[in-house]
Amino acid sequence: MGLNDDRHLDVLREIEICLRAEYELHPDLLDNICVFGLENAKIAIKKKYGFAKNETVTDMPKVQGIIKACEEIGLARIDKVDDLSLKEYIKRIEKIKKSVKRHSQFGSRGYYDFIKNYV
């Protein structure tokens, strides 16, 4: 699944817009913490659909905005818009997480430096 052939490109963009807002709200938000937030967002959205019962979601204040935004996007879109399934939504979060990791090679806020010009 490449960027150009992703049916749910709008979902990726919506998540990225929320991440940009979180980076701007928290100037000390680093990419590794963003990755942690995205990992917890995957657990949180799975819990909303009755899965991941034995997993816990962090209460770290700095990532609550990331988790909440991903939950809200998921709840609004999964099984409602363009046949987006929970599994496909999780794949989109994972795709963004990989991008955060990749761009963090260019600095501790490398992902923000990358997306701030596009979203």
Each residue of 67-114: pLDDT tens digit?
999 999 999 999 998 889 999 999 999 999 999 999 999 999 999 999
Of 74, 103, 102, which is closest to residue 89 (Cα–Cα)?
74
pLDDT for the residue 30: 98
Structural domain contains residue 44? yes
pLDDT for the residue 82: 86
Structural domain contains residue 2? no
Structural domain contains residue 3? no
Residues 46-65, mean pLDDT to the nearest whole number: 98
Structural domain contains residue 73? yes
pLDDT for the residue 1: 47
Whether 115 contacts 19, CB under 8 Å: yes
pLDDT for the residue 2: 54
